[in-house]
Amino acid sequence: MPSANETSKKRVAVIGVGYWGKNLVRNFYELGALAALCDSNQSLEEDYKKKYQGVKFCTNYHEVLSDPSIQAVALATPAVTHYELAKAALEAGKDVLVEKPLAIDVKHGEELVKIAETKGRILMVGHILRYHPAILKLQQLIQDGQLGKINYLYSNRLNIGKIRTEENILWSFAPHDISVILSLLNEMPTHVSCKGGAYLSSGVTDVTLSHFEFPSGVRAHIFVSWLHPFKEQKLVVVGSEKMAVFDDTVENKLVLYPHKVEWKNRIPTAVKADGEVVALDNREPLRAECQHFLDCIESRTAPVSDGREGLRVLRVLDAFQRALQNGGNAGASVTTKLEKIEQPYFVHESAYADEGARIGAGTKIWHFSHVMKGAQIGEKCVIGQNVNVDGGVLIGNNVKIQNNVSVYTGVVVEDDVFLGPSCVLTNVSNPRSQVSRHSLYESTRLRRGC
Ligand SMILES: NC(=O)c1ccc[n+]([C@@H]2O[C@H](COP(=O)([O-])OP(=O)(O)OC[C@H]3O[C@@H](n4cnc5c(N)ncnc54)[C@H](O)[C@@H]3O)[C@@H](O)[C@H]2O)c1
């Protein structure tokens, strides 16, 4: 039952209440926002009517879209229907939460984003892991520099079933892993390759192994299968300082390993350390996703997994699919160049963000500024005119840096910090041109909000 503080005006209809839709129904109901249910399969009506008394059930989605009391719809119908239904809902003036993938054709995804923006509607994609406490924590740890420089990462999503015939494993499982990897790295890949095998239904791939190459030099792969002896949902991030393992099937979902590699007589030697369990809150990710959708409807702000993020994931899926088709199930690996790289941040045409710099979504970098290789800047920052950000600098979220500021290696700027015009954050107290002081760099940490 809805708790008092979760209750809000009922205004969401769930369209498609099958295997996954029932979870959306439960969450919107418990949040006090469930207005109606719609599924073309009328045999579902009786059960839903018993469970959610007083909630209207219909079989034709036009009935939902023409109801002015319904403000938003959540679509959990098969992927092939997402474009048609999401388009109709946006055009009817509804806010839309569409299950992954946003669409199955990049052009359709672009059109949906455009319609939502033109009509001022919220468009959100159900990339549930973006709302998982472990992923949110991992994102924060990476942004804070606790893992050091990210070298590579991989994600395994393996199980026996749920086997589909209308879409392959790549489109069914991998959108989650792609959305997580893109958000952790805050960059789009330049090249991908993908190989797989179809064993059950002709032409429907059951297992794929997909590789990414990112401009920063990070490499990643995703291994997905619904024809696997046991369930595994594991994401591994290998950083220069710490390695992280997110395992969604165990109690301690996020563990950090501060293993080191020491060089002895020019030979790299691993120095192993015990895992550190990271404490997490135990919110249900889907509850957080549904609440976020309601919050965005209320505040009219873009969701974390908005249409643009859905489109980035769709572009990568499309490139993987093309690679898969070009390579078949055997033979040489195929590399496909993404046709259009759309970064989630803005760099003015007179500014430089070097390859290997990591910049968060929504950040703006203005005229004549330079962000060097190895620098990390968080989300929603504003970097003014003629700013220099050195390699190794870590900048948090929502940081404002005014004109003519220099930030040198060793500086850590936490969230919400304001750097006034022309300030210089240096790292050597007595610099000399003829003496290298690289090994003597000092660090400066600007705490949150200063
Ligand atoms: N986020 C996740 O973890 C997750 C997990 C599973 C599925 N999904 C997504 O959820 C969506 C649905 O998958 P599913 O496994 O629940 O499929 P499903 O086949 O079990 O359910 C889909 C339902 O949609 C109904 N439907 C189809 N066309 C319709 C229309 N035009 N109008 C009204 N109802 C219609 C069907 O009758 C069916 O009941 C897919 O996009 C899938 O990718 C997400």
Rounded to the nearest whole angstrom, what is the distance from the C-alpha of residue 246 to the centroid of ligand 1?
27
C-alpha triplet 234, 100, 207: angle, nearest 5°: 50
114 and 203 inside one domain: no
The pLDDT, as a whole number, for residue 48 is 97
The pLDDT, as a whole number, for residue 339 is 58
pLDDT tens, position by position, 377-424:
998 999 999 999 999 899 999 999 999 999 999 899 999 999 999 999
Residue to substitute in 14, 19, 61 for testing ligand 1 pocket (most ligand atoms within 8 angstroms of CB)? 19
The pLDDT, as a whole number, for residue 435 is 79
Rounded to the nearest whole angstrom, what is the distance from the C-alpha of residue 164 to the centroid of ligand 1?
11
The CATH number linked to 215 is 3.30.360.10
The CATH number linked to 14 is 3.40.50.720
β-strand 364-365 against 382-383: which pairing, if any?
parallel
Tell whether 418 is covered by a domain.
yes
69 and 169 inside one domain: no
141 and 214 inside one domain: yes
Q: What is the pTM of this model?
A: 0.81
Tell whether 305 is covered by a domain.
no
185 and 55 inside one domain: no
β-strand 406-407 against 424-425: which pairing, if any?
parallel
As a whole number of angstroms, the distance between CA 345 and CA 329 comes to 36
107 and 163 inside one domain: no
89 and 186 inside one domain: no
277 and 384 inside one domain: no
- CB within 8 Å of 265: residues ≥ 6 apart: none
107 and 152 inside one domain: no
Could you identify the atom of ligand 1 that is nearest to the CA of residue 59? 33
Rounded to the nearest whole angstrom, what is the distance from the C-alpha of residue 201 to the centroid of ligand 1?
20
Residue to substitute in 39, 62, 178, 224 for testing ligand 1 pocket (most ligand atoms within 8 angstroms of CB)? 39
198 and 100 inside one domain: no
Six-digit token string for 274? 């015990």
The CATH number linked to 356 is 2.160.10.10
Six-digit token string for 158? 């393996």
Tell whether 269 is covered by a domain.
yes
The pLDDT, as a whole number, for residue 331 is 39
- Per-residue tens of pLDDT for the chain, all 450 residues: 444 334 446 699 999 999 999 999 999 999 999 999 999 999 999 999 999 998 999 999 999 999 999 999 999 999 999 999 999 999 999 999 999 999 999 999 999 999 999 999 999 999 999 999 999 999 999 988 899 999 999 999 999 988 999 899 999 999 999 999 999 998 899 889 999 999 999 999 999 999 999 988 999 999 999 999 999 999 999 999 999 999 999 999 999 999 988 888 889 999 999 999 999 998 999 999 999 999 999 989 889 999 999 999 999 999 999 999 987 444 344 566 665 566 788 999 999 998 778 898 889 999 999 999 889 999 899 999 999 999 989 999 999 999 999 999 989 999 999 999 999 998 888 888 877 777 778 889 999 999
As a whole number of angstroms, the distance between CA 214 and CA 152 comes to 10
Cα-Cα end-to-end distance for the chain? 43
99 and 201 inside one domain: no
Tell whether 373 is covered by a domain.
yes
The pLDDT, as a whole number, for residue 336 is 64
Residues with CB under 6 A from ligand 1: 15-21, 38-41, 61, 76-79, 81, 99-100, 126, 128
As a whole number of angstroms, the distance between CA 403 and CA 323 comes to 44
Tell whether 431 is covered by a domain.
yes
229 and 244 inside one domain: yes
120 and 177 inside one domain: no
Tell whether 393 is covered by a domain.
yes
Q: Which domain holds residue 259?
A: 130-285+312-337
Rounded to the nearest whole angstrom, what is the distance from the C-alpha of residue 154 to the centroid of ligand 1?
27
As a whole number of angstroms, the distance between CA 96 and CA 306 comes to 10
What's the domain count of the chain? 3
Rounded to the nearest whole angstrom, what is the distance from the C-alpha of residue 17 to the centroid of ligand 1?
7
How many C-beta atoms surround the C-beta of residue 178 within 10 A? Answer: 28
Six-digit token string for 363? 């950040």
Tell whether 69 is covered by a domain.
yes
Tell whether 307 is covered by a domain.
no
Q: Cis before residue 175, ω within 30 degrees of 0?
A: no
